Structure 1
Amino acid sequence: MTAQTDLNPTPHIPCGCQQVAVYGTLRRGGSNDIRRWQPEVHWLGHCRLPGQLYDFGPYPGLVLDGSYKVLAEVYALTPDLERELDRVEEIWPVDIGEYAKHIVDVELLPLDGGPPQPTQVMIYVAQPAHLQGRAMIDADDWLEWWAKQAR
């Protein structure tokens, strides 16, 4: 069997969700700020994800267990943006198994200050096999926690 090549790429499979929530380096001001490499991305507001953050060194992993309400930013999700996010999270074109996509129900806190709106967002969740030896982060805002670390 031969390896995938550019002539025979792995097809990208979109999740079908219209919004993505980012909680780590992809947030505004993070090292992978989503707006830097995808400037036409449309920021919709904030949400809180029911989960626990884990320390993966220069980036976090999220597990959906309800320990915290993790701060995330919500963006409109286009097929092109999803493909780029999957590339950054190493789900596509080759899946290394560190993250999986999940769709969760959240309350969107719109940027215009309007009332919370129930919505679905796609998120990247850390997979159990990659949590071995990772410390839990006792915080709900990864960027704030990261800024306080002496790295």
Structure 2
Amino acid sequence: MMPQSTHADRCADRYVFVYGTLRAGGSNDIARYRPLPQRVADGAIAGTLYDLGAYPGAVLGGEGRIRGEVYRIGPAVEAELDLLEGVMPDGSGEYLKRELEVVIGARRLICLVYEIHPRHIDGRSVIASGDWFARD
């Protein structure tokens, strides 16, 4: 028998790794959301960053590194981010919501990461630095 999730489980804060316009100072700065996300640290994940024009898209895994920031967020902010990123329950949206372990110093945090749907990277250039703010 599977344990039932409690209200507290469903309402617990989570962590999100942001790598593009949601970063501090970006056009969609995560600080505009309420309740205010709490910045935890800067970090990096394995992946490749693509330039999609006004924003980037990450493909997770591989040898490259993507620079970003980790925030603690509540359920209301997570729901808003899902809307912004076009996440669809059937996986057909612009972004796919993933969970990934991010190492921050001696801590390991399970973070949400929004990965671009592979159909959106055809013909797009790679941001070699892995840093949206340092792109060419």
- TM-score (structure 2 length as normaliser): 0.82
Instruction: For structure 2, list consecutive stretches of 5 or more residues without a partner in the other structure.
Output: 1-9
CA distance in 2, matches of 1:47, 1:18: 16
CA distance in 2, matches of 1:81, 1:62: 20
* Correspondence 1:47 to 2:43: yes
CA distance in 1, matches of 2:88, 2:74: 16
User: Are the equivalent residues in 1 in contact too, given 2:16–2:71 (CA < 8 A)?
Assistant: yes
Counterpart residue number, 1:111: none
Give 1:39 deviation, angstroms: 5.9
Counterpart residue number, 1:128: 118
Give 1:93 deviation, angstroms: 9.0
Give 1:138 deviation, angstroms: 1.0
Q: Which aligned segments of 4 or more residues in structure 1 are displaced greater than 3 angstroms?
A: 92-96
Counterpart residue number, 1:139: 129
**Greater percentage in strand:** 2
Aligned residues: 126
User: Are the equivalent residues in 1 in contact too, given 2:15–2:112 (CA < 8 A)?
Assistant: yes
User: Are the equivalent residues in 2 in contact too, given 1:102–1:125 (CA < 8 A)?
Assistant: yes
Of all paired residues, the percent bearing the same amino acid is: 39
- TM-score (structure 1 length as normaliser): 0.74
Distance 1:17 1:54, change over 3 A: farther
RMSD: 2.3
Deviations, residues 18-60 of structure 1 (Å, cap 9, x unaligned): 2000000000010110102336111111221100000100100
CA distance in 2, matches of 1:17, 1:50: 24
Give 1:88 deviation, angstroms: 0.8
Counterpart residue number, 1:24: 20
* Correspondence 1:83 to 2:73: no
